[in-house]
Structures are given as structure tokens and as C-alpha cells.
Amino acid sequence: MSILLNNNGYDNQTWYQALTTAFPDKAVHIYDQIVNLDETAHEIEYAVVWNHPNGDLQRYPNLKGILLLGAGTEHIDADDNIPHVPIVRLIDPEVIKDMGLYVLYWVMDQHRLYDTYRVQQQQAKWHRHNICQPSAFNVTVLGLGAVGKAVANGLSMNGFSVTGWDAYPQQLNNIACFHSTDQLATAVEQADVLVNCLPLNASTQHFINSDLIEQLPVGAMLINISRGDIIDDDALLSALDNNQLSRAVLDTFSIEPLPSASRYWQHPKVTVTPHMSGATYARSAVRLIADNIRRIENGEQPFPLHQPPTP
Ligand code: GLV
């Protein structure tokens, strides 16, 4: 019996090795290298996938589990033909730690004016700027799931003033948490930096739009480590152009790879990174996936289970 592997082109070979080592008795089939899918389909028991083609997973009659290669679930949620087997998210502490460090880096960059000093160096200009204490520098984290919580806690532990907002009530030590659309304006009105950690779903599409951006203090910075579709790109670009926002650091985009024609590439106030704030590496994540496959094999419950939205 075998495992279907599709990491959407990212490091399939490394994953292949890691899964083959973890399960020497199972064949691992890389999705886009399968020669005769109709013949192989009945062997597949586990699908280890990321951004897998819609409708494909119903082709495996002996499928026992779908193991996602990432924390986000919007791809699988968009598939109306998912077989009734456990769907398991990947919440890898190493990935979450990396995302927290990514955000901390850019928040520090903004707070300490490192971007200004980079420009000053090009001009051989020696000039020190006064800045506020970190405790007076406000960061609002939108979305307090596993990633948002870690991001918020990491910033707070480093002395920043952190506010959290989530669709549902949440509690975090030393962090003022707000919830529901009624409290959104209060959550963002002081934000020197707004960090997007929201999941992408029907209610978060273009959540960061001109209405929300206008509620931020003038000169705020936006960091997006979640999904590009949560941002209204036109609204963001015009807010940068008219100085409502000072900067945007964007790790995710509506279309990835980011098309070369995108204005983001050349925009002087935008930093583009290629969806690497929390890259999933087989070296840490394969153990979590292998443990969950073993749980299913032993009749135990894998975790964390994902509940697809009801249509
Ligand atoms: C990556 O974007 C993930 O969802 O883990």
C-alpha cells in the first residue's frame, strides 16, 4: 500500500526521501510523476498533499487519510469532492517559530528605523533618530489561531505593546484581545504595525480593504504572513501611494509565484518575500505526519483534525 505525495513542486524529492525512510514498507508516489494513475489509484492509502488539484482525491478508493503539508486549509476547503476520511492539518512548531521571528524582524526594522538608516548609509549621512520605547510601539495581530498567538506572544515577550483581534473571543497574557467586527476599529486604531495572521475563508476575503486601512493611524505598516486574498491589493497600493501606510511587507499573494507584472515587485514601500516566512521543512514536519499516519493505522485519532466547512 502506498502514499501519494504532492507538495506542489516544493521539495518533493526531500519529502519523498523522508517519507520513504519513515515508512520503508510503503511505496511513495509523487503525484505529477505517476505514469498510470488509474492503475496506481487503488494502492493509495494516504495523501500527503498541498494545494492538490480539486476533485482528484476522490479517485483513491482505499484512501484512509489526507495529511496536509501546511497549516492553511483553504485549498482543501475549496474542493467539493473530498472523501470522508480524516483531514489532518500540519501545525509544526518549527514553522510557527519561524513565522514569529519573521514578524519580530520586520517589527523591529520598523520600530528602530533600520530602513531609514539603510537609505542614510547610501547618502553617507550620520544622523541618529529618536524612537519610542518598544512598550509604546503598538502592534495589532489579526487572527489568533496557532500562528497569530505565537506571533503575538513573541512580540509581547520582546517588549512590544501587542493587541490581538480574532473573529472569536481569545485570551492571551499581557495582550489586549478584541473580537467580532464591532471591536475591530478599537483593535486597530493604535496600530503602528498591523500583522495579518487570519485564515482565508469566505468572511476574510479582502478583509484588509480601504475601510480597515483608513482606521489605522497614518503611517502604519502592514505585514502579511497569511494569504494574499485577504488583502484588497488596489486598496493597499493606493494607501501606500497616498502615504496612509508607510510600508508593506508581503510574504503571500493572491497569485503565487507573484507575477512579474505586479506593482508590488517595484514599489519602493513594499518588501516582497516568496512565501517563506514559515516554510515547511521535511526535517521537522515529516515526524508529525508519520505519527499521524501511524495513529490512523492503529485506529487512533490523528490530530489536529480539520473540519471542512459545511456547504
Ligand atoms: C503555509 O502557507 C501554510 O499554510 O502552512
- What is the C-alpha separation between 253 and 256, in angstroms, rounded? 6
Which atom of ligand 1 is closest in space to residue 227's alpha carbon? Answer: 2
SS3 assignment, position 248: strand
227: annotated active-site residue: yes
**CA-based nearest residue to 143, from 78, 234, 71:** 71
Q: What is the pLDDT of residue 10?
A: 85
Residue 78 near residue 261, CB atoms below 8 Å: no
C-alpha cell of residue 62: 482505499
- What is the C-alpha separation between 224 and 111, in angstroms, rounded? 17
- What is the C-alpha separation between 303 and 222, in angstroms, rounded? 32
Contacts of residue 260, Cβ cutoff 8 Å, sequence gap at least 6? none
Report pLDDT digits (tens) over 15-28.
999 999 999 999 99
Q: Is 282 in the pocket of ligand 1 (CB under 6 A)?
A: no
Q: Which residues pair with 156 in a beta bridge?
A: none
Residue 75 near residue 52, CB atoms below 8 Å: yes
CA 202 to ligand 1 center in whole angstroms: 18
Q: Is 72 in the pocket of ligand 1 (CB under 6 A)?
A: yes
Which atom of ligand 1 is closest in space to residue 275's alpha carbon? Answer: 2
Give me the catalytic one of 29, 111, 227, 247. 227
Residue with cell 526594522: 109
Contacts of residue 252, Cβ cutoff 8 Å, sequence gap at least 6? 224, 225, 226, 227, 228, 275
Report pLDDT digits (tens) over 204-245.
999 999 999 999 999 999 999 999 999 999 999 999 999 999
Query: Ligand 1: which residue has its CA nearest to atom 4?
Result: 72
CA 180 to ligand 1 center in whole angstroms: 24
Q: What is the pLDDT of residue 184?
A: 98
**CA-based nearest residue to 166, from 138, 147, 190:** 147
State the average pLDDT for the chain.
96
Query: Ligand 1: which residue has its CA nearest to atom 5?
Result: 70
- What is the C-alpha separation between 47 and 66, in angstroms, rounded? 5
Alpha helices in the chain (DSSP H): 12-22, 37-40, 74-77, 93-111, 114-122, 146-157, 184-188, 210-214, 233-241, 263-266, 282-297
SS3 assignment, position 90: coil
> Which has the minimum average pLDDT: 68-82, 101-115, 207-221, 244-258?
68-82
Q: What is the pLDDT of residue 8?
A: 87
Report pLDDT digits (tens) over 143-194.
999 999 999 999 999 999 999 999 999 999 999 999 999 999 999 999 999 9
- What is the C-alpha separation between 202 and 31, in angstroms, rounded? 29
Which atom of ligand 1 is closest in space to residue 226's alpha carbon? Answer: 2
Q: Is 70 in the pocket of ligand 1 (CB under 6 A)?
A: yes
Domains and CATH numbers, the chain: 2-92+280-297 (3.40.50.720), 93-272 (3.40.50.720)
Q: Which residues pair with 140 in a beta bridge?
A: 163, 194
Q: Is 71 in the pocket of ligand 1 (CB under 6 A)?
A: yes
Q: What is the pLDDT of residue 308?
A: 78
State mean pLDDT over 302-307.
Answer: 94
275: annotated active-site residue: yes
- Confidence class for position 311, pLDDT limits 50, 70, 90: low
- Rounded to two decimals, the pTM is 0.94
State mean pLDDT over 48-56.
Answer: 95
Give me the catalytic one of 179, 275, 295, 306. 275
SS3 assignment, position 46: strand
- Running DSSP on this structure, what letter comes out for residue 176? E
Q: What is the pLDDT of residue 199?
A: 96
